[in-house]
Amino acid sequence: MSTAVRAERLDAGGRATVGECPVWRAQEGALYWVDIPARRIVRLEVESARRTEWAFAEQVACFAFDAAGRVVAGMESGMFGVTLPDASDASDVNEGHAVKLAAPAFPAAGMRFNDGRCDRQGRFWAGTMVQDMSLASAVGALYRFDEQGTLSAPVVDGLITQNGLAWSPDGRTMYLSDSHPQRRVVWAFDFDTDTGTPSAQRVFADLHNYAGRPDGAAVDADGCYWTCANDAGRLLRFTPQGKLDREIGLPASKPSMCAFGGGDLKTLYVTTIRPATNATDNDGYVFALNPGAQGLPEPDYAGMLPVA
């Protein structure tokens, strides 16, 4: 079950405080991700090792591209349409442009969006959380931002630290986790692909039975669910039946989210978090590894986004 796999540290990508939301852009041969407290989106052209970054007025937690290369993002105060201007000098921090599209009624102070991505039909989903995790406030919720640019009411509520969004290859199963130390659970839902409605919530994986907390995730072409076991420095792969069948150790203790990429979608990119204390030299970097599985293309947002 435990598999020895070499993880390459992508030094050219730089070191984040809270690296999250890796997104592979095949047409660019580039990996994108965010550094949440730095309020930045980072891009790395893998072959040339050219790094570009864009800074924003708010923290960016999650994002997805549309077909035109524009971005929908979950930030601190709502959903935003984002434009990443061309950067002539990769050594500079560039100014990103953002326009607010919609916002939920946050039930508590100090909240922001957290983990998010598109379903197979191109709706963008993202969840909210209270940033001070020590409060263990179960006021977070999962929202759907549809093709018409409408933000739903909470679709799933009562979350502390929303994470782990992913969909099965046929789109008919949705996965969602709560990575707070008091929860540590991954749920599966039946998913109506026509209406974008999850139902029949059930426990898929209880990480009290394994190492770590279930942070960001990805689904491979076999329908298996890969979760970053935060605090345990591991990747865990669960079959569609919820059985742990693969475990890969990582050189960083706090993996945060993973995404398949590369020309054949057989490279797994993993972002990590640099803890405030006792950080190792590897914490905060992005890693690349070949896990022995192939991923699926990340869906584009299906709606029309304004030019920010």
- Positions marked catalytic: 215
> Which value, to the nearest 10 degrees, does the dihedral of the CA atoms of residues 275, 253, 230, 16 take?
50
**Which residues lie below 8 Å from residue 185, measured CB to CB, with a gap of 6+?**
177, 178, 203, 205, 206, 207, 208, 214
Using a 10 angstrom Cβ sphere, with 0-12 exposed, 13-18 middle and 19 or more buried, the burial of residue 229 is: buried
Cβ atoms of 225 and 237 closer than 8 Å = yes
H helices, E strands: number in the chain: 0, 26
Contact 127, 140 (CB under 8 A): yes
What span, in angstroms and rounded, lies between the C-alpha atoms of 198 and 172? 9
Amino acid in the structure at residue 69: G
